[in-house]
Amino acid sequence: MSNAALWASYKEKPSPELKKQIVLNYVNLVHYVIHRTNLIQSALLDRRDYFQFGIEGLSEAIDRFDPDYGTKFETYAIQRIRGKIYDELRKYNDKFEHVLEPEATTMFPTSTLSVNQSIGEDDRLLDMIKELNERERTILSLYYYEDLNYKDIAQVLSITVSRVSQIHSRILNSLKLKLAKYNA
């Protein structure tokens, strides 16, 4: 059964069997997220735990996905899977923080947000990113967090490579202009 037919059947009449088949068809997304996300190994969790969290995220994505919105399931599911893994890591981090050594409590990779902004402007940049439309946020997410190139993003969004480049450039220029007001 094709993915489209499987989704149509599942949305018409959800059943555990259909959901299991959808999970099996998309389990590679869980592996993809785990391998493409810089998850720091801890004394409490390993890749099997991350895989379990990812499967839970995939299951939630299947339950909440609406194919009528026109979004590709893969794009939606990747965000839900990563979000579920991070949510569970936060729970473990909060629960076991007092047991671990200070350097072992960091379960998230540290990254620097930057569009030529000064230190302390991360919240300002995040607020500006939240103001972007869904397509723009998706492009930023796929490019900077998934490390996809323009060609891969074009395939995910069903647009041309040059269009991805144009949108990406426009987003960066817009963010730089907005941040310039604060840096003046």
Residue 46, Cβ density class (10 Å: 0-12 exposed, 13-18 middle, ≥19 buried): exposed
- Provide the pLDDT for residue 61: 92
- Provide the pLDDT for residue 177: 85
φ/ψ (deg, to 5) at 109: -65, 145
* CA angle in degrees (0–180, nearest 5) for 92-60-56: 40
Q: What's the rounded mean pLDDT across residues 150-163?
A: 86
pLDDT digits 0-9 by tens, 89-112: 877 766 655 444 444 444 444 344
Q: At 85, which helix (H) or strand (E)?
A: helix 73-96
**Selected residue with higher pLDDT from 108 and 39:** 39
- Provide the pLDDT for residue 115: 46
| Cα–Cα distances in angstroms (integers) from residue 67 to residues 7, 8, 57, 58, 72, in the given order | 8, 9, 17, 15, 7
Tokens found for residue 18: 């259909």
d(CA 37, CA 140): 15
Domains belonging to the chain, first-starting first, are 3-105 (1.10.1740.10), 122-183 (1.10.10.10)
The whole-angstrom distance between residue 177's C-alpha and the CA centroid of its chain comes to: 26
Tokens found for residue 151: 């060609």
Name the pTM for this structure. Answer: 0.52
d(CA 103, CA 26): 35
pLDDT digits 0-9 by tens, 47-67: 788 888 999 999 999 988 887
Query: Helix, strand, coil shares of the chain as percentages rounded to 5?
Result: 70, 0, 30
d(CA 112, CA 131): 20
- Provide the pLDDT for residue 57: 92
- 158 conformational bin, left if phi > 0, alpha if psi -120 to 50, beta if neither: left
For the chain, state the CA radius of gyration: 19
**Selected residue with higher pLDDT from 61 and 147:** 61
